[in-house]
Amino acid sequence: MAEGNKDWIWDRYWRFDRIASCFDSAGSNYPAEFEAEWNAFFRKLPRGAAILDLCTGNGAIARMAAKFSGKSSQSFKITGVDRAGIDPDKYVTSDGNDPAITYLGGVSAERLPFENAALDAVISQYGFEYTDHDKTLAEISRVLKPGGRGKLVCHAAEGTPAANGRVEVRTITTVTNDLDLFRLAGKAITAAWGSEKEGRELSSAEKQDMKAFGAAMGGLSDALEKEPNNPFLQAAYGLLRHTFKVREHFPLETLMEKIEDIKAETRAHLGRIKALLEASLTEDDCRALKQTLESYRFGDVLWTRFALDGGAKLAGWNFEFRRVAK
């Protein structure tokens, strides 16, 4: 999970008991509207279909395919691949491990470990758009059987996750950079811990450190009042408070490691939001992608809005297509 590895932000995210990467309802899979959207596609697949879920993460969509298959006795064989070091069977406990799904980590969408024409369907949600579009489409075209189907749900630049992401980046950057939160947390804990261990009063410099940290936490608390539904900030606030509160029970080194860990999680979180914003597709991007799909000899190319709450929230762009029979 070293930060030098370009996938560390996702390695870190998926080695945790969670399934969705946004619209997250406390670790569980995406809301029912997502399942309805995907089930409409799964209904079109033949019995026993071999399905590949690209950029699967902890298998959100692979799980929906397995659930659909189980209920309809379709006997799908599902493989979920991701370039990150995923291991959903180990980390996800809330949604049993389905033997119909095989997960493979360390697999790039641009280089798939499948024979030509091996698959009935290639699917991806909030994944394809992160990859090199041309290389991935060439691979999808290679591994799909003639007549095989594709469905890609992609982040929209004007969609709800991107809009929320832009607000989050602003707030988190302000809180962590402008308020210098983690450096001040380290200094305040060091000051309080040292004076208590040595049974002495705080020096005036240490009092300043404590005051500065208190002010930064006040700033974080103000930000939370403005954005009460920001679970990331809430968690950071709670963890910092807790680390400060339990200081007497731990060596200083352990406390500093905890602060570093909260800081690394913040960097990873910001990295994931920035990656989402970079990957998100504008309407112009979608028009171009539709043309690219057609240039790869995919037929029946469909580009639609995928909206929630009766159309109020744009969840993404939906692309469906078929591999043209030779």
Question: Which residues lie near ligand SAM (CB under 6 A)?
Answer: 7, 10, 20-21, 55-57, 60-61, 82-84, 108-110, 125-127, 130-131
Q: What is the C-alpha separation between 1 and 55, in angstroms, rounded? A: 18
Position 149: which residue type?
R
What is the nearest approach in angstroms of ligand SAM to the Cβ of residue 83? 4
User: In terms of CB distance, is 219 or 271 closer to ligand SAM?
Assistant: 271
What is the nearest approach in angstroms of ligand SAM to the Cβ of residue 6? 9
User: In terms of CB distance, is 120 or 139 closer to ligand SAM?
Assistant: 139
Task: Report the residue closest to ligand SAM, judged by CB.
Answer: 57
Q: Residue 320: helix, strand or coil by DSSP?
A: strand
User: In terms of CB distance, is 60 or 240 closer to ligand SAM?
Assistant: 60
Q: What is the C-alpha separation between 216 and 206, in angstroms, rounded? A: 15
User: In terms of CB distance, is 74 or 131 closer to ligand SAM?
Assistant: 131
CB 51 within 8 Å of CB 74: no
What is the nearest approach in angstroms of ligand SAM to the Cβ of residue 238? 25
User: In terms of CB distance, is 7 or 206 closer to ligand SAM?
Assistant: 7
What is the nearest approach in angstroms of ligand SAM to the Cβ of residue 189? 34
Q: What is the C-alpha separation between 136 and 142, in angstroms, rounded? A: 10
Question: 154: which strand partners?
Answer: 317
Determine whether 98 is exposed, middle or buried from the number of CB atoms within 10 Å of its CB (0-12, 13-18, 19+): middle
What is the nearest approach in angstroms of ligand SAM to the Cβ of residue 268? 12
Token pair 């692309």 is found at: 319
CB 149 within 8 Å of CB 321: yes
User: In terms of CB distance, is 132 or 261 closer to ligand SAM?
Assistant: 132
* Strands of 144-154's sheet in order across: 101-104, 77-81, 50-54, 119-125, 144-154, 313-323, 298-308
What is the nearest approach in angstroms of ligand SAM to the Cβ of residue 127? 4
The dihedrals phi and psi of 67, each to the nearest 5 degrees, come to -65, -45
User: In terms of CB distance, is 126 or 244 closer to ligand SAM?
Assistant: 126
What is the nearest approach in angstroms of ligand SAM to the Cβ of residue 124? 6
Q: What is the C-alpha separation between 65 and 48, in angstroms, rounded? A: 12
